[in-house]
């Protein structure tokens, strides 16, 4: 009996230690569980607050589009294309803001007696290689296109080598514009707090044409009219950057693709303010070099080149700055441009 008691006493520390360890493990599991619950609650709370803020912006007409490119102007155009899909266009207009703002699709459709059905695929602020990127994207998505027009300024053909060609993720934008994907996940995927707040502050006024020299207003075809009597002080543009060979290589690649696919291609130089040209290129050497490089990029294809800057004349009052036309002049420009397009309205088929 004494031995049994002795053994029990000897075993007590082990049993007690095991019990204490189990108690400690259980005790530590409780704080960890609470910590995990707190983290998850915080995450869901932050997510609810984020989307609540987006809904509030939407209710006040200040919700910008998802920031696929982190350019409000580009992203707003993508949202327009999502909300108003083009119906079997056969003429695609591409380029930067001069393509977006210098093409009156309704006038072109009327002048062509309905044979031309334009889609304005111009996006503001793009370099030439980026315009070619968006052109390839739209050509892949719009199988009815038979003719492409690129409206170009010399500013578009600089700095292509230091600006990435892909303006946005094509798969995401495909799903958003053409696939009917919900817009809400993209606000989180492309979240940038500074950009979101800045765009929310500006977007409502620009959509309402309250910022007349930089509006986010679209025609049914995707044109971006500058309906204003205002002009930018000092013409807004200084000496252009040097022309970049990478820009012209991108143009050449687009011309070759269209040649292989039997789609007509016309490259048009946008009209430039005479005062700007006299101030920044008094000898005309820079503009002349630009035109020669454009023509060289199209060599070996059936692409057409119209030097509208030299051949189409308009008053100085037609410009809002060094390179942009007000909408009242764009109609006249579009009438002249249609005359360049009509002979090439049908696809050019090569053997």
Mean predicted lDDT score pLDDT of the chain:
90
Question: What whole-number percentage of the chain has pLDDT above 70?
Answer: 85
Residue 5: per-residue pLDDT:
41
How many C-beta atoms lie closer than 10 Å to residue 18's C-beta?
Answer: 10
Rounded Cα distance, 268 and 298, in Å: 12
Closest CA to 255 of 120, 126, 127, 348: 348
Backbone Cα Rg of the chain: 30
DSSP state of 176: H
Q: List the structure tokens of 188.
A: 């989180």
Instruction: Tell me the β-bridge partners of 93.
Output: 120, 149
| Series of mean pLDDT values for 10-residue runs along the chain (351 residues) | 44 50 53 70 74 94 97 98 96 98 98 95 98 98 97 98 98 98 97 95 97 97 97 95 98 98 97 98 98 97 97 98 98 97 50 39
Cα separation values, 301 from 137, 252, 268, Å = 21, 9, 16
Residue 224: per-residue pLDDT:
98
Q: Annotate 145-175 with three-state secondary structure.
A: CCEEEEEECHHHHECHHHCCCCCCCHHHHHH
Residue 49: per-residue pLDDT:
82
Residue 111: per-residue pLDDT:
95
Rounded Cα distance, 169 and 60, in Å: 29
Give the model confidence (pLDDT) of 301-323 as tens digits. 999 999 999 999 999 999 999 99
Contact indicator for 108, 137 with CB cutoff of 8 Å:
no
Contact indicator for 266, 147 with CB cutoff of 8 Å:
yes
Q: How far is CA 109 from the centre of its chain?
A: 25
Contact indicator for 144, 90 with CB cutoff of 8 Å:
yes
Quick one: angle between helices 245-261 and 285-297, nearest 10?
A: 30
Contact indicator for 212, 121 with CB cutoff of 8 Å:
no
Rounded Cα distance, 229 and 348, in Å: 41
3-class SS of residue 273: coil
3-class SS of residue 137: helix
What's the whole-model pTM score? 0.86
Rounded Cα distance, 79 and 65, in Å: 6
Contact indicator for 143, 263 with CB cutoff of 8 Å:
no
Q: How far is CA 253 from the centre of its chain?
A: 20
Q: How far is CA 150 from the centre of its chain?
A: 16
In which element (H, E) is residue 2 found?
A: helix 2-59
Rounded Cα distance, 236 and 14, in Å: 86
Residue 68: per-residue pLDDT:
98
Residue 48: per-residue pLDDT:
80
> Judging by beta carbons within 10 Å of its beta carbon (0-12, 13-18, 19+), is residue 175 exposed, middle or buried?
middle
Contact indicator for 99, 148 with CB cutoff of 8 Å:
no
Cα separation values, 266 from 198, 281, 339, 344, Å = 38, 25, 12, 9
Give the model confidence (pLDDT) of 33-47 as tens digits. 776 666 666 666 677
CA angle centred on 28, ends 25 and 33, rounded to 5°: 120
Residue 347: per-residue pLDDT:
44
CA angle centred on 316, ends 312 and 317, rounded to 5°: 115
List the chain domain ranges: 1-59, 87-169+215-344
Q: What is the dotted CATH code of the domain comprising 87-169+215-344? A: 3.40.50.1110
């Amino acid at each position: 009996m004494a031995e049994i008691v002795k053994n029990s006493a000897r075993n007590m520390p082990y049993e007690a230690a095991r019990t204490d360890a189990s108690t400690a493990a259980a005790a530590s599991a409780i704080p960890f569980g609470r910590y995990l619950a707190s983290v998850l609650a915080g995450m869901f709370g932050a997510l609810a607050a984020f989307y609540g803020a987006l809904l509030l912006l939407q209710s006040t007409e200040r919700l910008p589009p998802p920031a696929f490119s982190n350019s409000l102007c580009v992203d707003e155009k993508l949202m327009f294309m999502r909300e108003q899909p083009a119906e079997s266009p056969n003429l695609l207009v591409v380029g930067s803001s001069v393509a977006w703002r210098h093409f009156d699709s309704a006038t072109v459709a009327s002048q062509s007696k309905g044979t031309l059905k334009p889609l304005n695929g111009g996006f503001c602020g793009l370099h030439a290689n980026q315009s070619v990127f968006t052109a390839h994207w739209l050509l892949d998505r719009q199988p009815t296109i038979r003719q492409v027009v690129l409206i170009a300024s010399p500013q578009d053909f600089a700095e292509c080598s230091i600006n990435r060609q892909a303006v946005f993720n094509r798969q995401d934008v495909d799903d958003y514009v053409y696939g009917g994907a919900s817009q809400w996940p993209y606000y989180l995927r492309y979240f940038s707090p500074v950009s979101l707040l800045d765009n929310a502050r500006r977007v409502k006024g620009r959509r309402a044409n309250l910022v007349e020299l930089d509006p986010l207003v679209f025609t049914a075809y995707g044109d971006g009219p500058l309906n204003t009597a205002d002009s930018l002080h000092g013409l807004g543009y200084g000496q252009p950057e040097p022309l970049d060979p990478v820009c012209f290589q991108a143009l050449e690649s687009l011309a070759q693709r269209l040649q292989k696919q039997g789609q007509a291609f016309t490259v048009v130089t946008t009209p430039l303010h005479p005062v700007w040209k006299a101030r920044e290129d008094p000898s005309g050497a820079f503009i002349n070099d630009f035109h020669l490089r454009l023509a060289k990029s199209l060599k070996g294809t059936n692409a057409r080149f119209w030097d509208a800057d030299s051949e189409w004349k308009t008053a100085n009052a037609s410009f809002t700055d060094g390179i942009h036309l007000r909408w009242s002049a764009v109609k006249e420009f579009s009438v002249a441009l249609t005359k360049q397009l009509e002979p090439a309205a049908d696809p050019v088929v090569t053997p």
